[in-house]
């Protein structure tokens, strides 16, 4: 398996390539920031031109699939358009939700305010639904699974905001951007506060699993993207301290 600072290859054949990308990379060109680093550009030298068939937020890590041919692009794009693709995300949020499972149905309007955020708008928004499940409670944090049934921009973040839940270090939708620090959750911590680096200091949202039908073979394929190093370190520490693990119920 090839590993670079930007991505890990989860699968590659003549028709598709699937990456586990780091946070901070765009999946395709963005009209708001044409200078931001892009995954398709970074991977072009190794894989040639890639066709984006879906997007995840720049600051979201995890599973991204690209088509490598025009035929595969058409077939995969149709699957996403017809909502035949299964998508599973994991996120770390502040606090503890009052539910174990819930569905949010709130019509969403992308670019709905001055900060270019997606906002709920019953009149002008488009239908959007997300299923949420509580995976683990770890003291001041909780792990949540999100299954978006539609594919609106920032859908998970906007729907969580609608029900009063904030993802850790979300610069757009959270009023709290406090990073996860070991010194604040581990009683026996004896490090140097001035030298301490946060366990997690970026949007704690990860595209964990993707299930699609292969555009040529017709085979159903599921790809799972392991957590990136920062999120994995956070998971391990929270499990060690609080005895609860997002992956116990997230397989």
* Spatial distance between the Cα atoms of 177 and 9, rounded to a whole number of angstroms: 30
Are 198 and 92 a contacting pair, CB within 8 Å? no
Catalytic residue among 30, 33, 40, 57: 57
- What is the bridge-based pairing of β-strands 61-67 and 108-109? unpaired
76 token code pair: 């995969």
128 token code pair: 């959007």
Q: Which residues of 167-189 are buried (b: 16+ CB within 10 A; e: fewer)?
A: bbbbebbbeeeebbbbeebeeee
Residue 154, SS3 per DSSP: coil
* Spatial distance between the Cα atoms of 212 and 113, rounded to a whole number of angstroms: 33
The torsion angle over the Cα atoms of residues 46, 201, 92 and 22, rounded to 10 degrees, is 0
**91 closest CA partner among 64, 66, 112, 61:** 61
**Is 57 labeled as catalytic in the residue annotation?**
yes
Task: Kindly state the DSSP code that residue 90 receives in the 8-state scheme.
Answer: E
Enumerate the active-site residues.
57
């Amino acid at each position: 398996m090839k590993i670079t600072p930007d991505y890990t290859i989860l699968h590659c054949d003549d028709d598709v390539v699937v990456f586990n990308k780091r946070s901070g990379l765009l999946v395709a060109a963005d009209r708001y920031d044409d200078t931001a680093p892009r995954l398709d550009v970074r991977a072009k030298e190794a894989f040639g031109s890639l066709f984006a068939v879906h997007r995840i937020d720049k600051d979201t890590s995890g599973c991204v699939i690209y088509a490598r041919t025009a035929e595969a692009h058409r077939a995969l794009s149709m699957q996403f358009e017809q909502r035949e693709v299964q998508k599973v995300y994991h996120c770390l949020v502040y606090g503890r939700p009052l539910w174990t499972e819930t569905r949010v149905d709130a019509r969403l309007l992308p670019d709905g305010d001055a900060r270019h955020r997606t906002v709920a708008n019953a009149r002008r928004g488009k239908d959007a639904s997300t299923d949420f499940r509580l995976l683990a409670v770890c003291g001041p944090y909780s792990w949540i699974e999100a299954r978006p049934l539609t594919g609106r921009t920032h859908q998970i973040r906007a729907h969580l905001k609608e029900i009063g839940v904030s993802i850790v270090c979300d610069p757009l939708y959270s009023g709290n951007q406090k990073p996860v620090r070991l010194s604040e959750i581990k009683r026996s911590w004896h490090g140097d506060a001035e030298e301490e680096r946060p366990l997690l200091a970026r949007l704690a949202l990860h595209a964990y699993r993707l299930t699609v039908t292969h555009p040529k073979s017709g085979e159903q394929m599921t790809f799972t993207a392991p957590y990136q190093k920062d999120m994995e370190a956070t998971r391990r520490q929270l499990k060690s301290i609080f005895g609860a693990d997002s992956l116990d119920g997230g397989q």
